[in-house]
Structure 1
Amino acid sequence: MNRFNRTVTGWVLCAGLLLAGSVFAGPEAVKGSASATIKQTSERMLAALERQRPALERNPSRIYGLVDQILVPHFDFERITRAAVGKQHWGKATPTQRRALIQGFQELLIRTYAKALLNYSGQKIRYLSEAPGRHSSVRVFTEVREPGADPVPVNYKVHKKGGVWKVFDVKIDSVSLVSNYRGSFNAEIRRNGIEGLISRIKEMNTKGKQ
């Protein structure tokens, strides 16, 4: 598996798409911890997939409803978008532009994860440890394993918002999800401004629907 595919696999799995049967050998998750939340989300996702597999085969677009119901509550899309756009550009964006960026980027990420979930092929994950991060956040260290390939480190950054653990960044094979998008977002803003980035994200979402 090349680096690109390894990274894409990690991004797919980081969303909580790791199915319950694929979790193995690791420290016991403390009830209410970030790791426990990710595992519980995975179990819900697996159960929903199994129940609706025939319906999904007939109508794959149903997967978006499952992702919206089960996974979205565990992502802080506002913080992810703010970090991907960058402090300087975010500070110059109007409230309307900020809402458009959050909604558009959320749709883009959900569409990416949902499509990949339909092609899930049994990768396994090992939960390694948790560690305190900055500003009351927590880092969850895991690795994804696939037959015939080296383990891919997938490390989450999570924090509590409204009493719920939410992912605000993921580092896969040393590549940060937020940092990866920040480069392309900043380049678009330099060329065409905030409105240009909003239009670009809309264009990507439109193509994704085709």
Structure 2
Amino acid sequence: MAPLWPSWALAQAVAPEGPEALIQRVGQQVFDTVKNDPALRNGDLTRIMALVDTVLMPHVNFERMTASAVGRFWRQATPEQRQRLQQEFKALLVRTYSGALTQIRDQTLVIRPLRAAPDATEVVVRSEIRGRGDPIALDYRLEKTPQGWKVYDLNVMGVWLVETYRTQFAQEINARGIDGLIAALAERNRTNAQRS
């Protein structure tokens, strides 16, 4: 009796997904979802948050992203403060970058060749969003975890997200402490929500 699955298909099914394949798959899923959902294209934040939570967040080490943005102060934060920082930072990022989702029409995500050692545990996947106008460079820093590759930083047109926020967060923490940063993020999120 012939096997149900050819051996090459079985090998692919159990082989872990590479970082560039992950970015291509998830990026394509986001693009397809936005293109087919008028509410997303119109900036419906409830729908955008649902997309972020279901499609993107399973592939992000958001604790590491937030810890890196908070910097050395993360070690001083209580578990409750860490949770609030992640919550407010996520809301800020979703509101800040949700406008980019509403612009997706006929663009495609093109992954550039990966330059990393086969046994690397941290890599940068470089990509471009191509469509109307000049391509937009979009790069991802990923780490290999027991659950697969996870994104922990993002570079949009030459600016790394974590580094940008680390400077802002450090200024706020130095002036008002960790609770001050949480309060500032919460206030910024409230203000942004009122403008929507």
* TM-score calculated relative to the size of structure 2: 0.77
> How far 1:114 moved relative to its partner?
2.8
Mapped to 2, the partners of 1:51 and 1:141 lie a distance apart of: 26
Among 25, 31, 38, the alignment partner of 1:40 is 25
- Residues 1:79 and 2:67 aligned together: no
1:154: Cα distance to partner? 2.7
Conserved? CA contact 1:64–1:111, under 8 Å: no
* Distance in structure 1 (CA, Å) of the matches to 2:95 and 2:123: 26
Give yes or no for contact 2:43–2:99 (8 Å, CA) kept in 1.
no
Counterpart of 1:140 in structure 2 is 125
Q: What is the CA distance between 1:63 and its match in structure 2?
A: 2.4
**Letter of the structure 2 residue corresponding to residue 91 of structure 1:** R
Counterpart pick for 2:73 among 72, 89, 106: 89
Query: 1:145, CA displacement in angstroms?
Result: 4.1
Q: Tell me by how many angstroms 1:112 deviates.
A: 2.5
CA–CA distance in structure 2, aligned partners of residues 188 and 135 of structure 1: 35
Q: Distance in 2 between matches of 1:200 and 1:34?
A: 35
Amino acid at match of 2:101: L
Label 1:186 to 1:157 Cα distance change in 2 as closer, same or farther (>3 A).
Answer: same
TM-aligned CA distance change 1:70 to 1:32, over 3 Å: same
Q: Which runs of 5+ in 2 are unaligned?
A: 1-14
Quote the sequence identity (%): 36
**1:98 corresponds to 2:82:** yes
Residue aligned with 2:153, SS = strand
2:104 maps to what in 1? Answer: 120
CA distance in structure 2 between the aligned counterparts of 1:145 and 1:43, rounded to whole angstroms: 13
Cα separation, 2, equivalents of 1:47 and 1:146? 14
Q: Please report how far the alpha carbon of residue 58 of structure 1 lies from its aligned counterpart in structure 2 after TM superposition.
A: 7.8
User: In structure 2, what is the equivalent of residue 185 of structure 1?
Assistant: 169
Please name the residue that 1:66 is paired with: 51
Correspondence 1:155 to 2:168: no
How far the C-alpha of 1:162 sits from its partner, in A, is 4.2
Q: Aligned to 1:90, what secondary structure does the other structure show?
A: helix
Q: Tell me the equivalent position of 1:130.
A: 114
Number of residue pairs matched? 178
State the TM-score, normalized to the length of structure 1: 0.73
Q: Which region of structure 1 is more displaced relative to structure 2, 92-101 or 117-126? A: 117-126
1:190 aligns to what SS in structure 2? helix
